[in-house]
A and B are shown apart, each in its own frame.
Chain A
Amino acid sequence: MGNELGIEGDDLVSDLAAAALVEQMVRTAYGSRVSADIQPLQWSIIRYISRTPRERCTLSWIKSYLGRTHAPVSRAIKKLVERELIVPRPNPDDARSSLLELTETGMEIAKADPLLRIVDSIGKLPPGDRKRFRDLVRTVALTLTDIDGQ
């Protein structure tokens, strides 16, 4: 089989289908009614705040953790504050920055994190398959990111 993508051979066709399913999984997870109202970067910020000690929940720590520049993170935080999902509090250690906290609504929204839908599906795999899935995802992701020359 040949086509414009240069995909030839049964294995490659199946690999392309697998890649499409990975994309579909993520789209489906982010496509739910609650998830779709919040951008992926905003979800990353909600996730960071929900699992990080309070004193490290500042714009500076968040942008460093996510590997993003100041402007998009600042905009995303502003949006989350406007939607009353997070609230800035005075930082006793640094008057120039605020500590960001999830509001009650933010905490509820965090429970609808789109990634949790995928987590739920992974959790339904038999234990051996679950570990194999994690190992395979890591291997494929390592190859994609090209760390350690994989």
Chain B
Amino acid sequence: MTTVLVIEDNENFRTLLRAFLEDAGYEVVEAEALDAGLSVIENQESPFAAALIDFWLAGQSALPVLDRLRVVSPATAIILITGGGPNLSIEASRSFAEVSGPLHFLQKPFGRAELLKLLHHCVS
């Protein structure tokens, strides 16, 4: 089964993402914060096919997670999801995330079909 890592601090949205992904046949590993995300990445048994990562995790940027994931698991497709955050445009957030390596990008809000279409493209 294809495993997808979800790092998202909003519990309701994280639950919704898990439901979308599990319904589509993906196995989901989730983390709710920066530290938990780093821990999951360090302890993964096999590389995740893809990682859905919110740029803002409780007011902190997800850049440390992105940096670590690119080192530990370079084959994992990264999908950055963001709806904007404090004092930084979505455009700038994307640039901060993209300057250190390629990623796919999905601006919030998005629906199930949009997410699965992109994810399928990333893992196939």
Contact = CB atoms under 8 A, between A and B. Distances in A.
A138 B92 contact: no
Contacts of A141: 96
Using C-beta atoms within 8 Å of the partner chain, give the interface range for chain A.
Answer: 10 to 19
Interface residues of B, number: 16
A147 interface: yes
Contact of A138 (B60, B86, B96): B96
Contacts of B61: 147-148
Nearest to B118: A53
B88 A135 contact: no
B60 A67 contact: no
Ordered nearest first, which 7 A-B pairs have the shortest CB separation? A67-B89, A65-B90, A138-B99, A134-B99, A148-B61, A147-B61, A66-B91
A67 B90 CA distance: 7
Contacts of B43: none
A61 B91 CA distance: 11
Interface in A7-39: none
Contact of B100 (A48, A65, A135, A146): A135
Contacts of B15: none
The secondary structure that dominates the B interface is: mixed
A137 B96 contact: no
Contacts of B63: 142, 148
A145 B61 CA distance: 12
A64 interface: yes
Contact of A142 (B90, B91, B96): B96
Contact of A134 (B87, B91, B100): B100
A73 B88 CA distance: 17
A65 B107 contact: yes
A65 B96 contact: no
B84 A64 contact: yes
A83 interface: no
Interface in B75-117: 83-84, 86-92, 96, 99-100, 107
Contacts of B89: 65-68
Contacts of B84: 64, 67
Contacts of A137: 99
B99 A67 contact: no
Interface in A58-100: 61, 64-68
A54 interface: no
A61 B96 contact: no
